[in-house]
Amino acid sequence: MTTSELSANDLRHFGSLLNRERDDVLAESARLDSALHEVREARSDGTADDEHDPDGSTMSAEWSQLAGLTADAAARLEAVDSALARLADGAYGLCANCGRPIPRERLDARPTALLCIDCARREELAHAR
């Protein structure tokens, strides 16, 4: 494995960026959990009559949407935590597949990137088949 081409300032920058993203995802997760709890409560106590409201979405649709958003937030949190772990162990900025440095431009666009562009393209092509 080679070493990352990121400077100490770059690493601090990405650490700060990732920690802010983590805080944002945790706040979003808390909001989604609260909304999901409200939907469950309304559904379980029978006060919500979503079948007779032609203008509103059904409770099932809202529940499904919130569950999907919650799963997306959990996946984002996992990606951020993984990037923070790589930052802590010195592997941040290195491709998990080939070990080459991930260009700063890619990390600027996607701070949680695990793969360099070439490996990400190969993986995308393999999954498309």
Tell me, what's the pLDDT at 47? 58
Q: What is the pLDDT of residues 44-95, one digit of tens each?
A: 766 555 555 555 567 788 888 999 999 999 999 999 999 999 999 999 999 9
Sequence spans of domains, the chain: 7-45+54-92, 93-128
pTM: 0.82
User: What pLDDT was estimated at residue 58?
Assistant: 77
Of residues 65, 44, 69, the one with CA closest to residue 56: 65
% of the chain at pLDDT higher than 90: 71
- Looking at residue 77, its pLDDT comes to 98
Distance CA 104, CA 106 (A): 5
Q: Which residues are CB-neighbours of 86 under 8 A, at least 6 positions away?
A: 92, 93, 94
